[in-house]
A and B are shown apart, each in its own frame.
Chain A
Amino acid sequence: MPRYGMVIDLDRCTACQACVVACKVENNVPFTDPEAAAKGRTMLWIELLAEIEGSFPSLRASLKPRPCLMCDDPPCTKVCPVNATYKNPDGIVAQIYPRCIGCRYCTNACPYGVKLFNWRKPEWPQPMAQGLDPDVSIRPKGVVEKCTFCHQRLQAARERAAWERRPMREEDYQPACAEVCPPNAISFGDLDDEKSEVHRLSHHDRAFRLLAELGTQPKVYFLREVGK
Chain B
Amino acid sequence: MNRREDWTYEEKALIPPVVDTSRLFWFTAAGLGAIVLWALYAWYYQLQRGLGVTGMGRPVYWGFYITNFVFFIGVSHAGTLISAILRLTRAEWRRPITRAAEIITVAVIAIGASNVIIDLGREDRLFNVIFKPHLTSPLLWDVLSITTYLTGSVLYLYLPTIPDSAILRDKLPHRRWLYGPLSLGWTGTEKQKKLLNRAIAIMAIIMVPIAVSVHTVVSWVFAMTIQPMWHSSIFGPYFVVGAIYSGIAAIIVAMAIIRKGCHLEAFLKPLHFDYLGRLLLVMTLLWTYFTFAEYVTTYYGNSPDEIKVMMSKLTGPYAPYFWTMVICCLPIPLVILGVKRFRTITGTVIASLLINVGMWLERFTIVIPTLSNPRIPRYNVHYTPSWVEVSLMAGCFALFILVYMGFTKLFPIISIWEIEEGREGVQETTERLESYLPEGGEGGEAAGPVPAAASVA
Contacts and interface: CB of A to CB of B under 8 A. Distances in A.
Contacts of B136: 78-79
Contacts of B232: none
A117 B129 CA distance: 19
A121 B56 CA distance: 16
Interface stretch (B76-84, B157-165, B218-226, B239-247): B218-226
B267 interface: no
B175 interface: no
A117 B375 contact: no
Given A40-B60, A108-B61, A108-B227, A102 B376 contact: no
B139 A102 contact: no
Contacts of B60: 40
Contacts of B139: 79, 81, 103, 105
A211 B376 contact: yes
Interface in A29-79: 36, 39-42, 49-51, 75, 78-79
B381 to A, nearest CB: 4
Interface of B: 49-52, 55-62, 116, 119-123, 125-126, 128-129, 132-134, 136-140, 143, 221, 224-227, 371, 374-379, 381
Given A82-B133, A108-B62, A102 B49 contact: no
A211 B375 contact: yes
A120 B121 contact: no
A81 B121 contact: no
A99 B134 CA distance: 12
Interface of A: 36, 39-42, 49-51, 75, 78-84, 99-105, 107-109, 111-113, 116-121, 140-144, 210-211, 214
A81 B143 contact: yes
Given A79-B138, A82-B134, A113-B376, A142 B227 contact: no
Contact of A101 (B120, B226, B375): B120
A120 B58 contact: no
Contact of B132 (A82, A118, A210, A214): A82
B128 A82 contact: yes
Nearest to A108: B61
B375 to A, nearest CB: 5
B375 A118 contact: no
Given A81-B137, A104-B62, 13 more contacts: A78-B136, A80-B137, A81-B140, A83-B132, A84-B132, A99-B132, A100-B125, A103-B120, A111-B227, A112-B376, A117-B61, A210-B376, A211-B376
B71 to A, nearest CB: 18
A108 B57 contact: no
A41 B51 CA distance: 11
Nearest to B130: A82
A142 B51 CA distance: 7
Contact of A111 (B123, B133, B374): B374
A76 to B, nearest CB: 9
A161 B60 CA distance: 44
A84 B140 CA distance: 13
A144 B58 CA distance: 12
B128 A42 contact: no
Given A82-B129, A99-B128, A109 B225 contact: yes
B225 A75 contact: yes
5 contacts: A41-B57, A49-B378, A79-B137, A104-B61, A141-B50
A80 B129 CA distance: 10
A102 B120 contact: yes
A120 B49 CA distance: 6
A49 B376 contact: yes
B58 A102 contact: no
Given A41-B58, A82-B129, A102-B51, A143 B122 contact: yes
A111 B374 CA distance: 7
A118 B57 CA distance: 10
Nearest to A98: B125
Contacts of A40: 57-60, 379, 381
Contact of B122 (A50, A102, A109, A116): A102
A113 B225 contact: no
A210 B376 CA distance: 9
Given A40-B57, A120-B50, A101 B122 contact: yes
Given A111-B376, A113-B374, A100 B61 contact: no
Contacts of A109: 225-227
Given A113-B374, A120-B50, A104 B57 contact: no
